Chain A
Amino acid sequence: MSSGRAATLSWAASARAAIARSSRQATRGYGRAAFRPGSVLVTGSSGKGTTCHLVAQVLRAAGLHPVVAATGASPWSGVADALLTRKRTGRRRNDPRAIGLVEVDAAALPGLVRRVRHPAALVCTNILGGQPDDNPADTALPALLERAMRSLPATTTLILNADDPRVAELAPDLPNPRLYFGMSDPVHGRVRPDPTAEVARCPRCGSQLSYARAYYAHLGHWACGRCCLSRPEPDVTVTKIGLVGSSSSRLQVKTTSAKAVLEVPLPGMYNAYNALAAVAVAKHLGMPAWSLRAIDNASGGPMRMERTHAAGHEVLLAVATNATGYSEVLRAILGDGEPRRMLLGLSTRRRQPDVSWIWDVDFEALAGLVPAPIVCGNRAADLGVRLKYAGWLGDGRHQGQSAGATIEPDPIRAVRAAIADTPPGQPLWIVSTATALAEIRRWLLQLDDVPDQAAGLAGQNRDSGRAGGRVATRLTRPRFAGPRIAASRPTRPRLAGAGLGGAQPSGPQPSAPPRSAALSPALPPSRARPDRGDRPGRSARPGQAGAAR
């Protein structure tokens, strides 16, 4: 009896090992080819996925072929996935326009850096506080990133968030060129950092930092009173932010050489930072200014303020995995003070019993804006207690009774109940941690009344042709359309003078990366992205077609 169970378990373990081995092998076979010199690594605590997604759309609009690899804590699964996808799309292995975009967890970065030769840039979005056990924000995470940075070649540009003191001062002695991005909006931002954000300390001398302006968490215009270290002047900056309700924001972006106004269809300050990071990457890669228009029609990626429809309601999904993320997502949704229907989720995997970070989420400031919230996930009860003590469930005249909240651990049942409860015509917001939200999203996408959404998502999702029914076209050899330049490769795709690529960051120029020869100043943008029969999802999107002209 017990031996049978042991056999089952060991079979499962060996199957897991086999999968891991095969994904490693896939990586070994293709890894060098996929992440040729010139790829971009995006890391940080939060916002790396959205940043990658936005950069990918800009690159696609400019005619490149980004290969996006979303790697979580274990890098190889995501890389292998991206490579298989790329194989399916039928591109040549030495596609001259391919560019790797790797979203990588900070913990996995040191391992990945060794496998990616000569990356063009390493982007670090932010380092947010976490629990001391899994990512000690003050010591281990910056130390990990520094270690990874030191193993990079000296030509790789570091694209860093100037507003995050922990990020801006990473490895200050490295000779690598640095490109800083940051907010300069004089109107938005608070005078003090969040009361719930942990106190930021000077990365050099350890004393408490003072802030002239704080945008979110500990990001802002910081300075150290003791050693006079202060925020570096950003090369790419936002001079004015207009946060348009819970749907979008308008950014006036300024680089050293150009200005642009972006309509980012994602709400919240943290998404403004993501868009800014994407602009910084585009500037570094020398993308033309018009390709930034792709951000206007971008989506944040799956589960990042993603819109779907269910039973006649608009349903918006937002993932939030840590205290700052949860606070900022809620602030972005409820910032205008309008009450909204909301389903909140909290789930953990079984190895992580800790959900104490929910007590660092600033629920108190938003009390009363969500009438009768529905709470789901395997830790729904803990979240319910949190909401109760934050005053979301009515005040205590009822002697602490939980008036109005529905606790339903099963996400699917909870979302059914939430949809049934939502008055017709009103949108339903779902904010949750990843596990429960992924389950909800899968269920929503299976519903019959969202075929357009599903297709649209699959088209935008990664660099893929995952929407079904195109097996035949996948199997055909790719027709190579576009200039074939093999012998002489310019150093970088650059439209001289036409866009943001005019000014490069200070420091030595990244000499090597001969990645893509496809873009040249002479090439008109409309030809840069020829319509190809095997990519129906792409050409059907109005946004990029419009942006490319």
Chain B
Amino acid sequence: MTTRQITVAHLYPDVMSSYGDRGNVAAIVRRCRWRDVGVTVTELRPGDKVVPADLDLIVIGGGGEPQQRQIAADLYKVKGGAIRDAVAAGTAALAVGEGYELFGRFCQPDKGAELRGIELFDSWTIRGRVADVGAAHQDRATARPRTDPAVRDLVVRWDGGLLVGFENSSGRTYLGPDAVPLGRVISGRGNNGDGSEGVCLGGAIGTNMRGPCLPANPALADFLISVALCRRYGTADLSPLADDLELAARATAMQRTVLTARRRALTWPLRKQASPPASGAGAVPPRLGNHARAGMHR
């Protein structure tokens, strides 16, 4: 068997890596090596150019808002066009969190000017108080109103299976008419609470699942690897791996989700009294994942 080889580009590994995003790259590298597929990881920092012909897989992680602002201009000016060309030519891509937001059309931060995205996905993001009026609550540490980030487990139905991740996003991403969501939300918020999560464009995937999503979802990792192999060799036959630990981690995450949903359902009347909606919009913003909770108790 000839040794196969793919090249992975990790964009801004120093900056966009707030949620252990190097874990995504580690997952791809390990899963390829376990199958005797060689992997070369090129780390692309600000100023480095993307060469579409060389790349089989592009990975960008999530960062904070300052980190996103720091790289946005470089991503748009230096790398944007090349990434679009590469994906059009069949390269796989994984964009997580803030990276996903910048792979869309634009991102409007809480304060300051909007950041231009590279327009790979037909999506846009609005962040902060503009996004969810009324969901503001008092931050205990800073005693200032702070928008409610969705910090919770996220379970998504994808391709006949389930994806499990962790979301922490104060932004809301909206998909345009051309965009295909990655999956349907079972629990969590997803893109903006409308039940869709992420975006999928050929072999390119954008997602809100942080806290590296590939080790927890071996199927998604294998999907990206097979897209990358198909681009290079036209075919991808991946031998199955023993994913017992990964499946155990997923199972505990699902269990946690179910417990959280039950608890939230039980304490719903109490919480409704305890936290009246802030003044402003008048209507209670849709608490996220209500439909999922309702589904679980049916």
Contacts and interface: CB of A to CB of B under 8 A. Distances in A.
A400 B141 contact: no
Contacts of A138: 64, 66
A360 B168 CA distance: 18
A352 B256 CA distance: 11
Contacts of A107: 140-141
Contacts of A400: 30-31, 34, 241-243
B151 A354 contact: yes
Contacts of A359: 19-23, 26, 211-212
Given A6-B270, A386-B215, A132 B241 contact: no
Given A144-B142, A359-B23, A133 B270 contact: no
Contact of A379 (B22, B65, B141, B252): B252
Given A5-B266, A402-B244, A131 B215 contact: no
Contacts of A132: 18, 63-65, 168
A11 to B, nearest CB: 12
Interface string A324-352: 00000000000000000000000000101
Contacts of A388: 30, 245
B3 to A, nearest CB: 15
Contacts of A290: none
A399 B239 contact: yes
Contacts of B267: 9
Interface in B14-42: 14-15, 17-23, 26-27, 30-31, 33-35
A354 B150 CA distance: 12
Contacts of A409: 252
A356 B211 contact: yes
Contacts of B243: 400
Contacts of A198: 14, 17-18
Given A359-B20, A389-B215, A353 B152 contact: yes
A399 B241 contact: yes
Interface string A376-393: 001101101110111100
**Which of B18, B31, B210, B266 is the most central at the interface, judged by chain A CB atoms within 10 Å of its CB?**
B18
Contacts of A396: 30, 33-34
> Which range contains the number of B residues in contact with the other chain?
35 or more
B41 to A, nearest CB: 13
Interface in B237-258: 239-246, 248-249, 251-252, 256
Nearest to A390: B26
B18 A199 contact: no
Nearest to B259: A350
A5 B263 CA distance: 12
Please indicate which of the listed interface residues B33, B141, B251 has the most CB atoms of chain A within 10 Å of its own CB.
B141
Given A136-B64, A144-B142, A381-B248, A356 B270 contact: no
Contacts of A390: 26
B294 to A, nearest CB: 16
A140, A354, A386 — most chain B CB neighbours (10 Å): A354
Nearest to B251: A381
Given A139-B66, A381-B249, A401 B20 contact: no
Given A5-B266, A133-B149, A356 B166 contact: yes
A355 B211 contact: yes
Contact of B256 (A9, A133, A353, A401): A353
Interface in A55-92: none
25 contacts: A2-B269, A10-B270, A107-B140, A131-B18, A131-B168, A136-B64, A350-B260, A353-B166, A354-B19, A354-B166, A356-B211, A360-B17, A360-B22, A379-B252, A381-B248, A381-B252, A384-B249, A385-B216, A389-B30, A396-B33, A399-B239, A399-B240, A400-B30, A400-B34, A402-B244
Interface of B: 14-15, 17-23, 26-27, 30-31, 33-35, 63-66, 140-142, 149, 151-153, 166, 168, 210-212, 215-216, 239-246, 248-249, 251-252, 256, 259-260, 266-267, 269-270
8 A-B pairs with least C-beta separation: A359-B20, A356-B211, A396-B34, A359-B23, A132-B64, A381-B249, A356-B20, A107-B141
